[in-house]
Chain A
Amino acid sequence: MIDITLKVNGSEQACRVDGMTTLLTVLREQLLLTGSKRGCDYGICGACSVLADGRLARSCLLLAADCEDRAITTIEGVAEPDRLTDLQQALVDAGAVQCGFCTPGIVLALEALLDVDPKPDETAVRTALGGNLCRCSGYGAIVDAALKVAHG
């Protein structure tokens, strides 16, 4: 086993991992940050999305041991405790959350987009969501929420 230190949501965390342990496994099973969901575990569904150095990444496709020099933000770290970001509130207001399993990944995919493109058009929003599967409702309300928070 390998001893590593991860920087997650601004705090340093000591972890012990195997070489092939993914970041997702460490987040969920060691750090108990269960907002990142294990959907497919091979990079298709987007439910495990996090930000790595501010860029969207799938935590199931990152090896924990390879993440020591990266700042990781999970869904638990996007807002202050008991508060929502403007985007999260817009998703609530638009009724864009049903079962909620995909929502953490959707939030991080859209936060990553808004960080580099604060006024995206619908095509940009849909492209940003291209790697996130929602099986409840389709994407209409999610896209509406993103456009609303960007354009008012």
Chain B
Amino acid sequence: MVGFHKPATLAEALALLADEDARPLSGGQTLVPMLNQGVVQPSLIVSLGRLRELRGITRLAGGAVRIGAMATHAEIATSTLFEAGQTLMPRTAVQIADPAVRAAGTIGGSCAFGDPTADWPVTLCACGALIELASAAGRREVPATDFFQHYLQTELQTGELVTAVTIPPLAGRGVYRKFARVYGDNATVSVAVILDVDVDVAVEAGRCRFVRLAVGSVGPRPIRLTAVEDSLVGRMLDAAAAEAAGAALAAEADPLDDLRGSAAYKRRILPRLVQRTLLEGINP
């Protein structure tokens, strides 16, 4: 027997979630299949469906965007509040799973699951997002690059809930490329780029002013190398430079052999996918 509560306030929800056998229910697109398959057996399910403070997307003074943990992928995909490099967010959201999952699944739920083959971890690392956590003991913010730690392991402690994700102001434009076996599948390899360039159309290249580059689904957590980003800034970004950046990331990749492809295959397609994503940032 599993209990069910749908509290009206966040404080009440956090008090219930202090029990380590309780699980929060957001959009249900991960928790419910795990329940159906017997992978998790909580004593209590705490629905977050009535908590207004977890909803909505708002633009803050200064240009950051705060996304409530209960915002669905579909809401993020259609939001017009993301500007410049922040457009990586809707461009990622529209590629998550399929329409039914996008309509129900939430960014907070996806973060809390911490699946490195999912789309949000790699994009949030590229954005330098902050993930806001709350528990009965208080609140804290954790950078996405620290939050996602290992396969299905995050910084979340017992009793903590993801309450919001904040995207800082970012220059340029966002591009997300996901290589998957079929529409709707998790990524075999994914690449998230935020790029601001002075484009020289004649040579199909551009001088890089700002770049954020992360790859996902090729190891236990997203890979973002600030040394690679720094090496690109101020340089002409052409096909060769873009592929070299991909090769540097592939050298750090630690993919698994799994049903989405062999580790060798993922390592091989990664540099080219990075190259294509960066070039799409130059020539949209």
Asked whether A and B interact, the reply is: yes
A interface residue numbers (CB < 8 A to B):
1-2, 18-20, 22, 41-43, 46, 49, 52, 55-58, 60-63, 65-66, 69, 109, 112-113, 127-128, 130-131
**Are B103 and A131 neighbours in the complex by a CB distance under 8 Å?**
no
Q: Which residue of A lies closest to B184 (CB)?
A: A130
Interface of A is mostly: mixed
Asked whether A63 and B183 contact (CB < 8 A) given A41-B36, A131-B101, the answer is no
**Distance (whole angstroms) from the CB of B105 to the closest CB of chain A:** 9
Which A residues are CB-close (under 8 A) to B183? 127, 130
**Are B99 and A56 neighbours in the complex by a CB distance under 8 Å?**
yes
Known: A49-B100, A63-B28; 8 extra A-B contacts, CB below 8 A, are A1-B1, A41-B36, A42-B36, A46-B98, A58-B101, A61-B28, A127-B99, A131-B101
**Are B36 and A66 neighbours in the complex by a CB distance under 8 Å?**
no
**Are B2 and A43 neighbours in the complex by a CB distance under 8 Å?**
no
* Bound-complex Cα distance A113 to B98 (A): 13
Instruction: Name the residue among A2, A57, A61, A63 with the largest chain B CB count within 10 angstroms.
Output: A61
B104 within 8 A of A: yes
Q: Which residue of A lies closest to B74 (CB)?
A: A55
Which B residues are CB-close (under 8 A) to A22? 32, 36
Which B residues are CB-close (under 8 A) to A49? 100
Contact partner, B1, options A19, A55, A56, A113, Cβ 8 Å: A19
B65 within 8 A of A: no
**Are A63 and B100 neighbours in the complex by a CB distance under 8 Å?**
no
Which B residues are CB-close (under 8 A) to A56? 99-100, 103
B233 within 8 A of A: no
Question: Chain B 1-14, CB within 8 Å of chain A: the 1/0 string?
Answer: 11110100000000
Q: Which residue of B lies closest to A53 (CB)?
A: B103
Contact partner, B3, options A19, A43, A113, A130, Cβ 8 Å: A19
Contact partner, A42, options B6, B25, B37, B103, Cβ 8 Å: B37
Q: Which residue of B lies closest to A24 (CB)?
A: B36
**Are B28 and A66 neighbours in the complex by a CB distance under 8 Å?**
yes
Contact partner, B32, options A2, A43, A127, Cβ 8 Å: A43
**Are A128 and B99 neighbours in the complex by a CB distance under 8 Å?**
yes
**Are B103 and A18 neighbours in the complex by a CB distance under 8 Å?**
no
**Are B99 and A109 neighbours in the complex by a CB distance under 8 Å?**
yes
**Are A19 and B100 neighbours in the complex by a CB distance under 8 Å?**
no
Q: Which residue of B lies closest to A2 (CB)?
A: B4
* Bound-complex Cα distance A61 to B106 (A): 13
